[in-house]
């Protein structure tokens, strides 16, 4: 059974807001490989203009580093979606 990973990306005006995430609402990242896949998707969003959710300057810090820091601080909401085989 294959799983698809989806990270929410929203178009909103640039503003810095603190994201408070309940750790019980965020699924556990069960392996370093899944973390890499999630961070890669988030890094692409940051490269396309998404605002970082941590206090790091995207002009000086690489998007992958920012993405990993966001996951470390539980500031990214995501969910696992199971695909049905048809």
Task: Show the domains of the chain with their CATH numbers.
Answer: 27-86 (3.90.940)
Mean pLDDT by 10 residues, the chain (86 residues): 64 54 64 90 92 89 93 83 74
Q: What is the pTM of this model?
A: 0.63
Contact (Cβ atoms closer than 8 angstroms) between residue 85 and residue 2: yes
Q: What is the C-alpha to C-alpha distance for residues 82 and 86, in angstroms, rounded to an integer?
A: 12
Pairwise CA distance, residues 71 & 78, whole Å: 10
């Amino acid at each position: 059974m294959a799983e698809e990973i989806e990270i929410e990306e929203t178009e909103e005006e640039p503003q810095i807001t603190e994201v408070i995430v309940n750790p019980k609402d965020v699924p556990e990242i069960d392996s370093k490989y899944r973390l890499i896949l999630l961070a890669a998707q988030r890094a692409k969003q940051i490269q396309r203009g998404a605002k970082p959710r941590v206090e790091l300057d995207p002009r000086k810090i690489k998007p992958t580093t920012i993405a990993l820091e966001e996951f470390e601080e539980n500031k990214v909401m995501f969910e696992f979606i199971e695909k049905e085989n048809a």
